Amino acid sequence: MGLTQEQIDFFWANGYLPLGKVLEDAEVEVLRREYDAEFERAWQTNSLRNLSVSDGLDAEGKRAAPSHMLQIMQMCERNLHFRRLLYHERILDLAQDLIGPNLMLFHDQALFKPARTGGPVFWHQDNAYWRCRPATLVSCWIALDGTDEANGAMRFVPGSHLRPVWHERSESTGALLDAGGQVDGERAAVVELPAGGCLFHHCQTLHHTPPNRTDRQRRAFVIHFMQPGTRNKAGEVIRPGFKNPILRMSI
């Protein structure tokens, strides 16, 4: 399963690419089961973040918060099913068509918006956090539930990957927010996906997700791909290893 030249051109012109279903229903069901179990364990051990509130809260405080944008980083280090997903041939084929045959993991994350209390993620470019060089990383955002605008579908500003924008840090949550009304929300494209569907986006594409006030939960898993030789914010080359495995390498 690969991309057409038209799809590749769309990605580089717009900074994102919606795709249809890439995971079979049986695969999705297994991942949902494992996802729910990992989030329940993370609540019990206070090893997740609620991006809607201050990091200083304990698990009880996070549960009691009025809004929940829940994050588990490096799910692949906790669960074998998500470790295997990093090597999914169809997903790697798509990533290869965008950034080449040599693929490394930067990191992965699970992002969960519960029904009714799901919080927003504000407009941002990922590389404003990461500050990687070269800024050629791409992300594969995988929907484990059907997503639409009402329950927290991704929204992108087409073409915004072509230049970085200034971000400032929120005093309440530590999130990086777009400063000074730089985002033209009227231009934003909403990407709705079926369960098992995915989209790709560039590390400099402005994106956000609205709150989920529906009766439907929104479970998502994101794989962030980079090329070998990428440097981190300290200017150091990110070396292959358990945390940053080589996922595919040309011979």
The CATH number of 6-51+67-165+185-232, from 3.40.50.300, 3.40.50.720, 2.60.120.620, 3.30.160.70, is 2.60.120.620
pLDDT of residue 53: 82
Q: What is the pTM of this model?
A: 0.94
Under DSSP, is residue 244 helix (H, G, I), strand (E, B) or coil? coil
Strands across the sheet with 189-191, in order? 121-124, 207-209, 154-156, 189-191
Tens digits of pLDDT across the chain (251 residues): 689 999 999 999 999 999 989 999 999 999 999 999 999 999 999 999 998 887 777 778 788 888 999 999 999 999 999 999 999 999 999 999 999 999 999 999 999 999 999 999 888 899 988 999 999 999 999 999 999 999 999 999 999 999 876 666 666 555 555 434 567 777 899 999 999 999 999 999 999 999 999 999 999 999 999 999 999 999 999 999 999 999 999 86
CA-only gyration radius of the chain, Å: 17
Q: Residues with Cβ < 8 Å from 65, sequence gap 6 or more?
A: 50, 52, 53, 57
Yes or no: say if 156 and 206 are a contact pair by the CB < 8 Å rule. Answer: yes
Measured on CA atoms in the order 145, 147, 150, 153, is the torsion positive or negative?
A: positive
- On the 0-12 / 13-18 / 19+ scale of CB atoms within 10 A, 148 is middle
Q: Residues with Cβ < 8 Å from 185, sequence gap 6 or more?
A: none
pLDDT of residue 182: 64
Token representation of residue 134: 């070269």
Q: Residues with Cβ < 8 Å from 60, sequence gap 6 or more?
A: none
Among candidate residues 205, 106, 130, the one with its CA nearest the CA of residue 164? 205
Domain ranges of the chain: 6-51+67-165+185-232
Beta bridge partners of 224: 107, 139
Distance of CA 181 to the CA centre of its chain: 23
Yes or no: say if 209 and 118 are a contact pair by the CB < 8 Å rule. Answer: no
pLDDT of residue 179: 39
Query: C-alpha distances in angstroms, 251 versus 21, 53, 99, 101, 164?
Result: 30, 46, 16, 9, 34
pLDDT of residue 65: 84
